[in-house]
Structure 1
Amino acid sequence: MTVTEVRTDPLVQCQNLTLTYDGQTAARTVLKDISCAVMPGAQIALVGPSGSGKSSLIHVMAGLIAPDTGVITWPALRAHPTERPGKVVVAFQAPSLISALDVTENIELPLVLAGVSASDARVQATAMLESLGLGQLSTQLPEELSGGQAQRVALARALATKPSVLLADEPTGQVDHRTAAQLLDVVFEHAARSGMAVVIATHDQSVAARCTTRWEIHDGSLQNRGIGR
């Protein structure tokens, strides 16, 4: 009897990444020789203080920023190293909604760009808003939203595209604890149904406790990777 080897490739593979920003007085290295991998179904809390490199690592893993040295690849997604994979999405910490579009239209846009019909995009966007308790905001413009509401809409937009990897940068940073718990419920329920991997950059220990794996980053270096709970 022959046993067939089952191989699971990483969704994101980082090898010896280094990233440096030019400051006003001197260059600052924000990522230092980082090697890590995000496997299918992973639930990772990327924990560290402000300025530790969490957002920079999220942006490099998404293919939004090229590292100065090292290699970033997406083996399981069969993406070319020089092309950002469409199945990796980022829920940004900073405002990212398009000001000229209302809430529903913001969520519809990436769906339509991916080839979903306008009518199906509207149905999917509406369902995602309802799942996050945002249905009452559907026709509002981004300028009419609070910071927390805008952050939740941005997360809805990311989830609506049915990604293989969700990279969330402080997704609960502007909401209260009850809303944060509800938001994370939606994220992990979506992940359980779809197999989506989740990486959440956070300094909130209650958020980190929801993940099964914990990565600690300090001064640009990954110093500990272990079980999250």
Structure 2
Amino acid sequence: MTHDYGMTFPRLRDAAGTVWRDYTHHAFVEGLRDGNLPREAFLGYLVQDYVFLIHFARAWALAVTKSETLEEMRACAATVDALVNDEIGLHVKTCAAAGLSEHDLYNAEEHPANLAYTRYVLDAGHSGDFLDLLAALAPCVMGYGEIGARLGPVADDHPYADWIRTYAGADYQQVCRDAGALFDGAVTRRLGDAPMGTPGWTRLCQRFTTATRLEVSFWDMGLSFGG
């Protein structure tokens, strides 16, 4: 199911093979769906995901400098705004209820799995071009959209209702559609109307698949906090 996230994303997702399902149907995700994920695992994940989002916002800010058009710059800048001012707020709110301040979150020690993933994305942007960076960013953006759409809707008393509703909600689904349109336009602009037949396409598939594997490791990390 593509959820209208454009044409480039589903092609890269299909090229990733079984690793995409490993990510979107991970035991951590299924625990969120069923509501039986240990709370310690969820809170540990949220702390690390807060740190992740800080670096993720920096990567989208880097995308502004890698852009070739004002339209691309505006789309990337809007994503930075959404990450810093909206999505991070969910983490702050949930962790505050557990006695963790935003100061605690910002200064949390970064887990090696988090370090590996975020630095891979940033390196993709620094060493590659705009498409390299989008390919490394896309699994997180679109994957959470797919996961949210599959897990929602949920009852008010579901223990992870806030998280699921954030990613299943109309606002985040629109973020995914906008990111898909950005990716499609960027690919056409740089690789033409038949990108899959170009040498650059293989590199994008590799970027996307590697980032997806790192998402699997991120969920593994989350489960490790559950004892």
The alignment's TM-score, normalised by the length of structure 1, stands at 0.27
- Higher percent of residues as helix: 2
- Higher percent of residues as strand: 1
Relative contact order, higher structure (CA 8 A, sep 6+): 2
The alignment's TM-score, normalised by the length of structure 2, stands at 0.27
